[in-house]
A and B are shown apart, each in its own frame.
Chain A
């Protein structure tokens, strides 16, 4: 009956005048950011976990999506959150990390937490595929996801996402990454990068290259060891939550 999957709904937790905008990843749902949101809300912050267009509904919707739709979803979240607070810290996982950095280049935010963020196309075939994507995706629409890299199997069990990657999405992701790289010089706010050494999708150099390319001086990388790609739900999530919470307090000037 509902369009949005049960458990995959966007969420809003009212709090103080510092807002945290939470952006999930490609084929993911707001659920992957919900525990982080609850932690930040318990810390006193106002939190909005948005739903990207075509996510948490029906996988087929992804075949109609464009990168610009996701940026528009992120801008929507920013405007809605801004109505309830004075300053916004944006945080995202994976493609949500990319979108967070892009938002920081376009609209006034006071900080970015970029988690498990791809800096270059994670699959070397993407560049080639991008060129033929418009034709290819007419016949090849879905591709299986890679092997799971979860450490916390219980959290993995309750994870909610589309089970397949839309092939078109690979092309979109490629475009979004290229666009982010172009926009990085405009990201002049504090950035906290969080990355797991156990991420099977994105090797460590995604984080180190992103770090090097950020123009600001207020930047740091937090490494986690015993988590897979979804650091907001996997074994070391508490370390991630604590770091994100402390980062928000610092950049927003909130008394601890």
Chain B
């Protein structure tokens, strides 16, 4: 998919792995990657399997394929950096937390993290329709910043079998949370209508880390790296990477 390619920006010895969300593409984290690179970090935005190609590829995807894609990113970043900070959005945040429980990484920025599958009525409908339908169209864009919708590269529908895979990924994440002991920054929007901010509280409570922070932003919907609060999100993520990168030395 044009504009949905993975990206890498070489920089310093602290590397940031950026993991996008379900049905999205690396594009939704490219702005964050560029910001981090401008601040001297190495940034690598991976593409999760089945994403940014053909939506039919999603019908074959398992959540473990997505985790393997994220693991690829850790190994590639390791080659040119000493410390890896993983940053993910939505499903990507869940994968980031799973990585943190399994790999020696220096910190996690988990944005718009779902603790459980969203309770959006569209999603509930999906569950009922699972045996009969393969795809269900997404609703209209609900950004605070109307500009954000223009650059978006993502599938325009949800693949129904993929939902089940997201549920399994979230179950794995919930099981991993107590084992995450590295510094974690959670960022969520108060106005996230898709994954309400209560999800962040649930993640925060169960995290094993002693160094954990929860940041609430405003004027954004679920995709906080694209929406109106993005500069605030970029600044917080960068400050976190700088702090844990320095600590790790």
**Chain A residues within CB distance 8 Å of chain B:** 1-4, 9-14, 48, 50-51, 53-54, 57, 61, 64, 66, 68-69, 72, 75-76, 79-81, 83-84
Q: Is the CB of B76 within 8 A of A14?
A: no
Tell me whether B57 is interfacial, beta carbon within 8 Å.
Answer: yes
Other contacts beyond A1-B102, A79-B6, A83-B44: 9, CB < 8 A: A3-B67, A10-B75, A12-B80, A54-B65, A61-B62, A68-B53, A75-B5, A79-B7, A84-B80
In the A-B complex, list the 4 residue pairs whose CB atoms are closest, starting with the nearest. A12-B79, A83-B8, A3-B68, A9-B75
With both chains docked as a complex, state the minimum distance between the C-beta of A20 and any C-beta of chain B, in angstroms: 13
Known interface pairs A79-B6, A84-B8; A48-B76 also in contact (CB < 8 Å): yes
Bound-complex Cα distance A81 to B80 (A): 12
- A78: nearest chain-B partner, CB-CB: B5
Q: Is the CB of B71 within 8 A of A12?
A: no
With both chains docked as a complex, state the minimum distance between the C-beta of B101 and any C-beta of chain A, in angstroms: 9
- B61: nearest chain-A partner, CB-CB: A64
- B67: nearest chain-A partner, CB-CB: A3
- A58: nearest chain-B partner, CB-CB: B64
Bound-complex Cα distance A13 to B79 (A): 5
From the candidates B6, B65, B79, name the one contacting A53 in the complex (CB within 8 A): B65
The residue in B8, B57, B65, B68 that gathers the most chain A C-beta atoms within 10 A of its C-beta is: B68
What 1/0 flags go to B98-126 for Cβ under 8 Å of A?
Answer: 00001100000000000000000000000
Q: Is the CB of B65 within 8 A of A83?
A: no
Q: Is the CB of A3 within 8 A of B79?
A: no
Known interface pairs A12-B79, A12-B80; A57-B64 also in contact (CB < 8 Å): yes
Tell me whether B147 is interfacial, beta carbon within 8 Å.
Answer: no
Bound-complex Cα distance A131 to B229 (A): 54
The residue in A12, A54, A68 that gathers the most chain B C-beta atoms within 10 A of its C-beta is: A12
User: What A residues does B80 contact at CB under 8 A?
Assistant: 12-14, 84
Q: Is the CB of A64 within 8 A of B76?
A: no
Bound-complex Cα distance A64 to B61 (A): 8
Bound-complex Cα distance A190 to B8 (A): 27
What 1/0 flags go to B46-63 for Cβ under 8 Å of A?
Answer: 110100011001001010
User: What B residues does A79 contact at CB under 8 A?
Assistant: 5-8
Q: Is the CB of A83 within 8 A of B10?
A: yes
| Pairs A–B under 8 Å by Cβ, sample size 30 | A3-B64, A3-B68, A3-B71, A4-B68, A9-B71, A9-B75, A10-B72, A10-B75, A11-B75, A11-B76, A12-B79, A12-B80, A13-B79, A14-B79, A14-B80, A48-B76, A54-B65, A69-B57, A72-B47, A75-B5, A76-B5, A76-B46, A76-B47, A79-B5, A80-B7, A80-B8, A83-B10, A83-B44, A84-B8, A84-B10
With both chains docked as a complex, state the minimum distance between the C-beta of A81 and any C-beta of chain B, in angstroms: 8
Bound-complex Cα distance A173 to B75 (A): 27
User: What A residues does B97 contact at CB under 8 A?
Assistant: none
- B52: nearest chain-A partner, CB-CB: A72
Bound-complex Cα distance A144 to B46 (A): 34
With both chains docked as a complex, state the minimum distance between the C-beta of A66 and any C-beta of chain B, in angstroms: 8
Bound-complex Cα distance A95 to B46 (A): 23
Q: Is the CB of B72 within 8 A of A57?
A: no
Bound-complex Cα distance A41 to B60 (A): 36
Q: Is the CB of A64 within 8 A of B60?
A: yes
From the candidates B7, B9, B10, B75, name the one contacting A4 in the complex (CB within 8 A): B75
Tell me whether B226 is interfacial, beta carbon within 8 Å.
Answer: no
Bound-complex Cα distance A66 to B49 (A): 12
Q: Is the CB of B65 within 8 A of A2?
A: no
- B64: nearest chain-A partner, CB-CB: A3
User: What A residues does B7 contact at CB under 8 A?
Assistant: 79-80, 83
- B43: nearest chain-A partner, CB-CB: A83
